Amino acid sequence: MKFLFLIAVAIGFIYALIRKPEIIAVVLFTFIIARINFDLQGLPLNTRAILSLALFGRILMDRTTNIKFSTFLGNGNVKILVVFLIYVIFVSMSQDLFTLDLLKELISSVLAAYFVFYFFLKNLNANHLKTAIIISGFICFADLAYTYIAFGSFPIHRIYEQFTGEDNASYDDILAGVNWNFFGQICGMGFVYIFCDLVKNRSGNRYIAWLLPIMLLGVMMSTSRSAIVGMLVVTILIILNGINYNDQKRRMAKIGTFFIGSAIIGMLLFATLGKYVNLDSKFLDEVISRLADEPVAILKRAMGQPYNIQSLGSMDWREESSENAYSAFLNLNLSEQLFGIGYGGFEARSLGHGYNAHNATLLLLIENGIIGFFIYFLLVAGVIVQSIIKKNYSPSLAVIIFILVFGLGQNREWTSVTTYLFVVCVIAELKVLSLNRNNCNLLNNLTPRQPVIHS
């Protein structure tokens, strides 16, 4: 039976690769965003590598489009991304931190970014990435629900591992399996993408609004404060931008009414969850503390009011870890401050005294130096500024801003493959806007002028 299933999967894969490569792209992006990866028995490559190589080979044989790999590398913003990744390699090599796994990760980052660019320009939309983020958000929600119902406490158990029996995951996959913030991040990304798409896209599918409470519930179940803050910040920005347009105000009113009602139902469901599933009472108390008591204590401390220090929980040591990271950067010599100490150097040197940096800004600065920090923000800030100038307030841009806010209290999210997917999607959007503007200017120049008739 298992053999027949594998044959059916292989046939479906080959058919999709030949006839519908977009399906393979959606699967690959979903695996990347949801951090799904496993080895296939008897093969030296894992699933992501096989999908990437197969899709790249299929694109090279595609004769139905003029989009070439050279066009991708010819884009100014893409060049900055490639320069940054090469810079990471050389800095890591100088610190004896370069590994084959790092090289494979950076190559996969370039290939995945190219796929986003390619399919966007080929189809003139981001439906492949939109589908992937929605599926990924639903997968992460399902993993959270499965953990709550079947185990009643963290760490989070992933559903796909129950079928693959995967026990030899990479560092990132192991981290994803125990760090509930990751699941909040993906659900939060799904929420802001769907919300922005509903507000900005007048021809969008309104049925996906039903996914908003699911993504919100996923963020709540993850207990990730970083995801909650990022979701609130981006949602407010979308609303502030949308009130400038009458059609968007009407859509926001409809979405808001639906969402408030569904959110209330979701909150009630979350509050009563412990009565119907196998939740550990102590775990439920910890969840409530992370979602309510800790933020209140932090707010009171910031306002100089009395607060319960026991309620600070993880936020207390997060502040300490950020302070350790800041001190570690100041203690580096001048050359290391300029060029960095390489990818993974923070952990290799144990600069956090047992803690991760929990601050993407400081981690980026320490491992890539001031020069690498500048290159990275030349890319990301440049893409954001160009989008604002061209009024390209797309869902992918909303996801980038969410990741930036989320990463302020996390680690490597800013330089993850997932981030590059959405950055390059916005680059492709800007490319299409420029092409459309140039075509309009060309048409205007070619249009013959009407003779002026004097009376």
Are the CB atoms for 424 and 75 separated by under 8 Å? Answer: no
**What pLDDT was estimated at residue 83?**
95
Beta-bridge partners for 39 = 46
**What pLDDT was estimated at residue 445?**
53
Domain chopping of the chain, boundaries: 75-120+302-435
Spatial separation of the C-alpha atoms in residues 313 and 294, rounded to whole Å: 7
Distance of CA 144 to the CA centre of its chain: 18
Vertex 284 angle, CA 173 and 136, to 5°: 35
Residue 318: CA atoms inside 13 Å, Cβ hemisphere, count?
16
Spatial separation of the C-alpha atoms in residues 114 and 425, rounded to whole Å: 10
φ, ψ for residue 39 (rounded to 5)? Answer: -80, 145
Are the CB atoms for 357 and 411 separated by under 8 Å? Answer: yes
**What pLDDT was estimated at residue 279?**
56
Task: Give Rg (Cα) of the chain.
Answer: 24
Residue entry with tokens 């040591």: 317
**What pLDDT was estimated at residue 147?**
85
Contacts of 424 (CB under 8 A, 6+ apart): 78, 81, 113, 114, 116, 117
Spatial separation of the C-alpha atoms in residues 284 and 148, rounded to whole Å: 10
**What pLDDT was estimated at residue 441?**
55
Are the CB atoms for 262 and 212 separated by under 8 Å? Answer: yes
Q: Give the pLDDT means over successive 10-residue stretches in the chain (455 positions).
A: 73 88 94 86 74 91 65 91 95 91 90 94 91 95 87 81 60 49 93 90 72 87 85 88 72 70 66 58 55 54 50 56 83 92 87 75 92 95 95 94 91 92 96 78 49 40
**What pLDDT was estimated at residue 310?**
46
Q: Count Cβ atoms within 10 A of the Cβ of residue 54 and give its class: 0-12 exposed, 13-18 middle, 19 or more buried.
A: middle
Are the CB atoms for 343 and 414 separated by under 8 Å? Answer: no
Helix axes 47-60, 21-33, angle to 10 degrees: 150
Which two structure tokens, joined as six digits, stand for 151?
Answer: 């185990």
Spatial separation of the C-alpha atoms in residues 53 and 431, rounded to whole Å: 25
**What pLDDT was estimated at residue 411?**
83
Contacts of 36 (CB under 8 A, 6+ apart): 30, 47, 139, 160
**What pLDDT was estimated at residue 453?**
41
Residue entry with tokens 């993407």: 360
Are the CB atoms for 64 and 20 separated by under 8 Å? Answer: no
| Sign of torsion over alpha carbons 431, 434, 440, 446 | negative
Q: Count Cβ atoms within 10 A of the Cβ of residue 151 and give its class: 0-12 exposed, 13-18 middle, 19 or more buried.
A: middle
